[in-house]
Structure 1
Amino acid sequence: MRIGIFGAGGMAEALGGQWAATGHEVMIAARDQAKADALAGKISARAGTWEETARASEVILLAVPAPSAPEVLAVAGKSVAGKMLIDCTNAVGPGATLTAPDQAARIAAAAPDAHVVKAFNLCDVDVWRMTPPVFGGRPLAVPLCGSPEAVEVVSSLVRDIGCTPLNAGGLDRARLMEATMAFMVGLWFDGHDAQACFPPLPV
């Protein structure tokens, strides 16, 4: 699959590196061209402008700081139309508070002709660097919010990094996933074992 990544930070490196290693064609775009070039060289990808990367891709991972997302999408313009757009951004501030509730909805409004899927926003970047992310013998589950068709496409990319995709409903439910992230991160910051809040299902 041809995957474009907007951003050249940790998430771009972690997920882009995983996908490139499994045989996908990855292209990187970033505000700092030198950073895009450096990351592309590191993970065996290519680098380009926002528009070039969008045009060359079937799926785009939006991995820029949350406040920058609408601006980046505006620059990319119509090049993202019809593409699967994975939103892994988190609009959080000090104390794990949501600074922009409904971030996925803001992104969908900024790219109305793209197929937005909320995914990969619940875990720290170091989790996505694991090959594969498995805990206690159980692969990490990755919830996806979006249209059924878009979720199906992104599910294959989840499986490619050794995780289990979960269809979590339409994009309207992404706000619940964003709030869950902020709530659980707040617990972790306070020193609590947030995972212990969710008992395993009985076998």
Structure 2
Amino acid sequence: MTLYYTMCFGLLMSEIGLFGAIIAPMPFAMRKRMMHFLSENPIVAKIQYALKITFIFVAVLFIDALQRMVRIAQEGAAAKAKVEMADVRAETTYAARRFYAQRNLYLTGATLFLSLILSRVFYILLDFINVQEEYNTLQAKTAKGSGVVGENEELRKRVKELEGQVKTYQAADRDFETLKKQADQQASEYNRLADEHIKATGAFSNKKAD
């Protein structure tokens, strides 16, 4: 296998390893740190840019391998159409060429296909993590709001209790004012009767003296 196909095979193995690491079961906090590192780290961004250029060359290799396989298939069909005696060495060479062409086609095709799947899964997981973070934030705000609502309910109950106490005190104050008025009236009546009694007693004493 030539150097560029060897590099393509190494790239395919790296994609398989990264894909397995991304979809492996792990705690949410660990997955979040890993995804944020892969999406925000500047070194990883440079590596991704280099890989995009590499995938362009892999696509060129895929097209070349496809053309070779088509050409070899056409040569095989033309050889079968001939009535000449079959040559074992020629058939062996043809089988080897066809095997290498198919291997290169499958290798480059699998690398390109897995790169598309890996990119799609990566962004789906990243969106999922962002949505989960927004959900956790909203849930925390809702819980905080529920706590405030609970405090407001307690304050309302306390206000109602205080209003009841105020009404009780107001009723007691009204009763006190009523009793005070009654006491004042009774005192006034007593003073009036006392004055009348004094006047009557004084008048009787004056008549007796006469």
TM-score over 0.5 for the pair: no
The TM-score, its normalising length taken from structure 2, stands at 0.19
Larger radius of gyration: 2
Would you tell me which structure has more helix in proportion to its own residues? 2
Larger RCO: 1 or 2 (CA < 8 Å, sep 6+): 2
